[in-house]
């Protein structure tokens, strides 16, 4: 068995993807701070650590199943920890299961500190993490991501931070969740050909090229409009309009997606990475708006 450095293990869990799970937690925390002034920051930070461990575990779990299913091969895009032979499937599987231990431990500690209702949020997160590969192969991946990285963390952070499920936090779910789903949507649109070869079905495959383009446009531009409407209606502070700046990279990403029909998948080979950067910028600006 090959020896691996810490850097190798970090690459295996794709840390550059963590903002997709961390930012919804952070945005919800600062929104609650803006709305209620007093929140339990310690619980929020524990939740942040827990969801990152869940995300890292889910990444490794997904890579393991994609390799075993034949979805990931030497000619596919993305991390090549398995397809290059750097890691064995067993190592990645054990990594995924090992990362679940601190994730679950932090979740149980939070449940002890706050109450049993958090159990159902945690159970939902665990189910999303473990069942994601199976559901992704049946065109439910986008829905799972929206639940796991928007609905569950937002509601969970609300409960552990202020002691109740605050309905207003649902306003956070739409903008942050849609851009997060856009990351997966860009990835699955790019991988349609290789996914067809592997015999799986994703939502992007079912939707078709034209729908995929329109849907991506909606996922990255509608969140900006959502923030503007929430500000006008008084649900968010005026400083939240800082997020309007992200219309520039969002439009640039849309233009990249529009090149797909003429240039093929090579035109969008790194659009998922660009969308992840967009999500990070959008969430950081929204966070700053609430803090100011």
pLDDT tens-digit profile of 94-121? 999 999 999 999 999 999 999 888 899 9
Stretch 125-129: mean pLDDT: 85
pLDDT of residue 78: 63
Predicted TM-score of the model (pTM): 0.89
Angle at 56 between CA 52 and CA 57, to 5 degrees: 115
Closest CA to 285 of 248, 249, 242, 225: 242
Could you give the CA distance from residue 189 to residue 219 in angstroms, rounded to a whole number? 14
CB proximity list for 32: less than 8 A, separation 6 or greater: 39, 157, 158, 161, 162, 166, 169
pLDDT of residue 79: 67
Residue pLDDT, tens place only, 227-278: 999 999 999 999 999 999 999 999 999 999 999 999 988 899 899 989 999 9
Residue pLDDT, tens place only, 62-89: 888 888 877 776 666 666 777 777 788 8
CB 190, CB 268: distance < 8 Å: yes
Residue pLDDT, tens place only, 4-55: 788 888 888 888 888 888 999 999 999 999 988 788 999 999 999 999 999 9
Say which DSSP state 201 is in: B
pLDDT of residue 258: 96
pLDDT of residue 238: 96
User: Residue 214 corresponds to which tokens in the numbers above?
Assistant: 């329109």
Phi, psi angles (nearest 5°) of residue 97: -70, -35
Closest CA to 51 of 184, 183, 157: 157
Stretch 123-129: mean pLDDT: 86
Task: Classify 38 as helix, strand or coil.
Answer: coil
Phi, psi angles (nearest 5°) of residue 115: 145, 165
CATH 1.10.600 describes domain 6-291: yes
Stretch 154-163: mean pLDDT: 91
CB 92, CB 81: distance < 8 Å: yes
Question: Which residue shows structure tokens 């827990």?
Answer: 50
Residue pLDDT, tens place only, 166-219: 888 889 999 989 999 999 999 899 888 888 887 888 999 999 899 999 999 999
Domain boundaries, given as residue ranges, for the chain: 6-291
């Amino acid at each position: 068995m090959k020896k691996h450095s810490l850097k190798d293990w970090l690459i295996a869990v794709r840390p550059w993807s963590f903002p997709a799970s961390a930012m919804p937690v952070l945005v919800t925390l600062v929104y609650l701070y803006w709305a209620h002034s007093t929140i339990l920051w310690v619980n929020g930070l524990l939740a942040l650590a827990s969801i990152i461990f869940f995300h890292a575990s889910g990444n490794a779990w997904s890579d393991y199943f994609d390799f075993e299913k034949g979805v990931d091969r030497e000619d596919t895009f993305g991390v090549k920890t398995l397809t290059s032979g750097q890691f064995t499937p067993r190592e990645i599987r054990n990594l995924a299961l090992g990362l679940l231990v601190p994730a679950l431990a932090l979740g149980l500690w939070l449940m002890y500190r706050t109450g049993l209702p958090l159990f159902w949020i945690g159970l939902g997160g665990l189910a999303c993490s473990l069942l994601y590969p199976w559901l992704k192969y049946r065109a439910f991946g986008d829905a799972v991501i929206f639940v796991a990285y928007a609905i569950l963390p937002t509601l969970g952070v609300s409960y552990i931070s202020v002691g109740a499920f605050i309905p207003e936090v649902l306003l956070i779910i739409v903008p942050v969740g849609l851009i997060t789903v856009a990351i997966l949507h860009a990835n699955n649109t790019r991988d349609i050909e290789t996914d067809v070869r592997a015999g799986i079905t994703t939502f992007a495959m079912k939707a078709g090229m034209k729908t995929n383009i329109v849907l991506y446009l909606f996922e990255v531009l509608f969140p900006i409009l959502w923030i503007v409407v929430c500000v006008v209606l008084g649900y968010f502070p005026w400083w939240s309009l800082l997020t309007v700046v992200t219309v520039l990279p969002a439009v640039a990403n849309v233009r990249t997606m529009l090149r797909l029909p003429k240039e093929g998948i090579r035109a969008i080979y790194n659009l998922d990475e660009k969308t992840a950067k967009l999500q990070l910028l959008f969430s950081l600006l929204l966070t700053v708006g609430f803090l100011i």
